[in-house]
Amino acid sequence: MNGTASEASAATKTASDTFSSTQAAKPASKLVQYRRERLGSLSAPSSHDIKSNQQAVWNSSQRLFADNPSDSAAASEDSGEQVHLLRFAWSFWFIHRVPGHKINDYEAAMTKIATFDSVEGFWACYSHLKRADQVPTITDYHMFRAGVRPVWEDPANASGGKWMIRLKKGISPRMWEKLAMAVVGGVFGLADEICGIVLSIRNSEDIISLWNKTALDTKSTLHIRDTMKLVMGLPHACILEYKAHNDSLRDNSSFRNTDIYK
């Protein structure tokens, strides 16, 4: 289905404003039952492993992750210091839907904001994005591997799914930042499985999602869930939800009929 020209125009205008000065679960399928049977046999990566991985990636650029990353990134660029390249390039995307209006062509309504391939580039982009509490509701930020479109139908996403966590208003900005740094820094240790992350800003809650490439790869999928909990500082008993993109296509919904995990 194609979106209207007015929808595309409104999305573009809203995207330009993103820079500052700049439930109930459905019955478990056989796959879900299999995943749940395996929960007890899979162990989460230790916090020591996570910290060691972070240190290896960011040790030489620790100053860039200061309280004021924008100033640090600018200083690095101005002084001609070494650029710390990431393993993959990433892109930020944005979409906003006016309450009461339907978007007929989701992909056409999205706007790519910027692409980066270094630690410095990440902060140059991220530090100029408005925070979750500064943008209108029914807004999504996406950070995806360069070349991967943040839609279910993209070849990199077609066989995958996503983990979701619902957060009270006001909590998501810091959680989103922690997850973004972990993803671009390669902390998950599953380079080809991580497609991207999404921050969905809604009226009564915010939802953070991580998209993985292979929903049927139970071991990797549960490893991603456990690593998310660690890098975001979530309680062990925190509830996360998972949904395969094929199910989202069938339901025409990202957030309904999800499978719930503790």
Q: Where are the alpha helices (DSSP H) in 80-208?
A: 106-109, 119-126, 172-184
Whether residue 130 is contained in a domain is answered as: yes
Whether residue 4 is contained in a domain is answered as: no
Whether residue 8 is contained in a domain is answered as: no
pLDDT: is 251 or 180 the higher one? 180
Query: Which residue matches tokens 């979106």?
Result: 3
pLDDT of residue 163: 97
**What's the length of the chain?**
262
Whether residue 164 is contained in a domain is answered as: yes
pLDDT of residue 101: 83
pLDDT: is 46 or 61 the higher one? 46
Whether residue 232 is contained in a domain is answered as: yes
Above 80 in pLDDT, residue 75?
A: no
> How many domains would you assign to the chain?
1
Span of 19-33, 132-146, 186-200, 214-228 with lowest mean pLDDT: 19-33
Measured CA to CA, the distance from residue 177 to residue 185 in angstroms comes to 12
Measured CA to CA, the distance from residue 100 to residue 107 in angstroms comes to 19
The domain containing residue 111 runs over which residues? 31-78+88-261
Whether residue 6 is contained in a domain is answered as: no
Whether residue 64 is contained in a domain is answered as: yes
Quote the pTM value.
Answer: 0.72
Whether residue 38 is contained in a domain is answered as: yes
CATH number at residue 235: 3.30.760.10
What is the tens place of the pLDDT at every residue in 88-99?
Answer: 999 999 999 888
Which residues contact residue 49 at a Cβ distance below 8 angstroms, ignoring those fewer than 6 apart? none
